Amino acid sequence: MVGALDALFKPRSVALVGASANPSKLGNVVLRNLLHGRFKIYPVNPRESEILGLPCYRSVLDIEGPVDLALVSVPAQSALAPVRECVKKGVDVAIVTSSGFRESGPAGAELERSLVEAVQGSKTRLLGPNTMGVFVPSRRLDTLLIPKDKSRRPRRGGIAMLSQSGAISVSFLERAAASGLGVSACVGLGNKADIEENNLIEYLGDDPATRCIALYLESFADGAGFLTAAGRISADKPIVLLKAGRTAAGSHAASSHTGAIASSSDALIDDVLRQAGVARAYDEEELIDIAKALSLTGSIRGDRICVVASAGGYGVVAADYVESKERGAGLRMAQLSPETRSELEKVIPEFSSTSNPVDLTAGVTDAMYDAVLGLLQRDPGVDGIMMSLELQPPNVTSKLVEITERRAISEGAPIVVSAFGGERTSALIRVLERRGVLAYPTIWRAVRALQALAERGAYLKRRKTRSEDPR
């Protein structure tokens, strides 16, 4: 499978069956997205001789050179013949993008079976049907069905995204682009008639560009296989999963979306995922929030959090979220050492609190933030720092961005920033994000990130203990 998947992630040649000269057609949008790729591109359409300056082929069989990847972008009813031709041509991977297969009822399921039969026993593997295809920025490979001006793509980076929903992967990419987060690859799984998540997880496990894997799944192709694949990889690369269809209503909805079939109970899934070291997200925002934390910061060594804020109210809300098990992260508020507290007393305002949360009050200055973060990072009783950043205090300047960046990348307890407010605050978060500082627009999302980092730390510790245990 790995050989075939190389063709999916780094093809040298791509054919587009259903290429169109009409700018309003999907077959034209996709061709334009492919044009700047680092591979040969062959448009296929029996009714055209040239599209966008490229010679057009009647069929993949008419292409002289080898074809690593073929995109079959024709209606469901017409997809079988070109897939058969792909098999005959010896194409490594055929991606069928159209819907109207298993998710649409018995007739579509029959069509899907015929696609699978067509590739069975051949060297050709099938991605989809019912998928947006693949996006690999390092190769400029972009088969997504949406023009770039309608949906921004992110830069190259360490997060791989696998998704059973095209829309969720596209909005994931948009959010990543907006946050300056980089992506190694994004693959739409569609109906998973052949290639499924486990094949891809195994492949990405060995991909040096991928540091973290984010998954949106409505069903497991093979639950045991997933746990094996995830368990093998998650020692090196964190995995975060949004498993939708966790209620009766959701799993009913999933069956008409991607033909997914409900599996085990949700609580059981929870338990098993934890054992395999897979972080769990419950929605589209948490998925990218956690992927961001795991790819940028990795883990924290324990669950003792120190909160620092210039606004006492945010300190209180943060403390509640750190500690509460029911509505919160179930972490612990760190006990600061007597040394840290007496050092804090020297730098923070007179009426401020040196216990946790550390309250810097509206009298805060840039230098105070710098000194306090440094002291907290060095306290051995602090595993992670949650910094609630407010722009309103009069002596806070734009230098705080550099200070926060320097502290965030320095030795000592990792820092997660939270900043809630209007447009100026949103702009601050974007600046911090682009500098690689873990920053979120609400207290809860920052605490949730710390929770994911603490769980990752605990998992890595368990794993180390197990491998050192002689029994």
Phi-psi region of 71 (alpha: psi -120 to 50; beta: other; left: phi over 0): beta
Give the interface segment with a copy of itself, choosing from 30-38, 117-125, 339-347, 355-363 (CB under 8 A). Answer: 355-363
Q: Does 431 bind a copy of itself (CB under 8 A)?
A: no
Asked if the bond preceding 357 is cis, omega within 30° of 0, the reply is: yes
The 3-state DSSP class for residue 290 equals: helix
Q: Is 231 exposed, middle or buried (0-12, 13-18, 19+ CB in 10 A)?
A: middle
Q: 388 vs 345, 373, 425, 433, CA distance in Å? A: 19, 12, 12, 15
- Show the tokens assigned to 204: 């990405």
Give the interface segment with a copy of itself, choosing from 32-40, 370-378, 415-423, 461-469 (CB under 8 A). Answer: 415-423
The CB-of-335 to a copy of itself minimum distance in angstroms stands at 11
Identify which of residues 11 and 128 has a Cβ nearer to a copy of itself in the complex.
128
- Tokens 């069905």 belong to 145
Interface pick for a copy of itself out of 11, 108, 182, 302 (rule CB under 8 A): 108
Q: Binders of a copy of itself among 4-63, rule CB under 8 A?
A: 24, 26, 29
Q: Does 190 bind a copy of itself (CB under 8 A)?
A: no
The CB-of-146 to a copy of itself minimum distance in angstroms stands at 5
Here's the x/- map for a copy of itself, 262-301, by CB under 8 A: it reads as --------------------xxxx----------------
Interface pick for a copy of itself out of 198, 420, 456, 457 (rule CB under 8 A): 420
Here's the x/- map for a copy of itself, 127-146, by CB under 8 A: it reads as ------------------xx
Interface pick for a copy of itself out of 314, 344, 373, 385 (rule CB under 8 A): 314
Give the interface segment with a copy of itself, choosing from 79-87, 135-143, 192-200, 440-448 (CB under 8 A). Answer: 440-448
CA distance 35 to 148: 12
Closest CA to 374 of 349, 400, 411: 411
Interface pick for a copy of itself out of 333, 360, 368, 385 (rule CB under 8 A): 333
Q: Does 106 bind a copy of itself (CB under 8 A)?
A: no
Interface pick for a copy of itself out of 151, 228, 263, 337 (rule CB under 8 A): 151
Closest CA to 163 of 123, 138, 134: 134
Judge whether 176 and 151 are in contact, CB under 8 Å.
no
Q: Does 359 bind a copy of itself (CB under 8 A)?
A: yes
Q: Does 218 bind a copy of itself (CB under 8 A)?
A: yes
Q: Does 174 bind a copy of itself (CB under 8 A)?
A: yes
CA distance 401 to 337: 27
CA distance 331 to 92: 48
The total of other beta-carbon atoms located within 10 Å of residue 275's CB is: 12
Report how many residues bind a copy of itself under the rule CB under 8 A: 88
CA distance 135 to 84: 25
Interface pick for a copy of itself out of 208, 249, 466, 470 (rule CB under 8 A): 249
